Amino acid sequence: MSSLRHIHTYSKFKARPGYFKCNDPGCTHFLIREQVIGKYSRCNECGEEFVLDYDSISLAMPKCLSCRSSKRAKAFQLGKKLAAAAFSVGSGMEVEEDGE
């Protein structure tokens, strides 16, 4: 049976160390660790799509930066909050146009 055509939700494959498999019960897809890096995946916590990197594959169930708790993830989450606050409607950060 071939694997399904969808964005896979990867997790570590316990039966074969160094391999990752898709969590979908109908999907038979699995890859070696080195081939997983740079692939799109769905977050095991929130379901959002993200690109797998070395930090995310160190977890048994890879998560996106919004769901992780590493230093880099916390910096990303803070930057996301600051950007949302700076560019929210009515924040007083509107661009002024010249009266020419």
How far apart (Å, rounded) are the C-alpha atoms in residues 32 and 37?
10
How far apart (Å, rounded) are the C-alpha atoms in residues 9 and 73?
19
Sheet with strand 10-12: strands edge to edge: 10-12, 19-22, 30-32
* Res 42: pLDDT: 92
CB 53 within 8 A of CB 37: yes
Q: Which domain holds residue 44?
A: 10-86
> One digit per residue, pLDDT tens: the chain, 100 residues?
566 788 888 999 988 888 999 988 888 888 998 899 999 999 988 888 999 988 888 888 998 888 888 788 888 888 888 888 888 755 555 555 555 5
- Please indicate, yes or no, if residue 97 is contained in any of the structural domains: no
Question: How many CB atoms sit inside 10 A of residue 56's CB?
Answer: 24
* Res 94: pLDDT: 54
* Res 47: pLDDT: 87
**Beta bridge partner(s), residue 49:** 42
- Please indicate, yes or no, if residue 36 is contained in any of the structural domains: yes
- Please indicate, yes or no, if residue 4 is contained in any of the structural domains: no
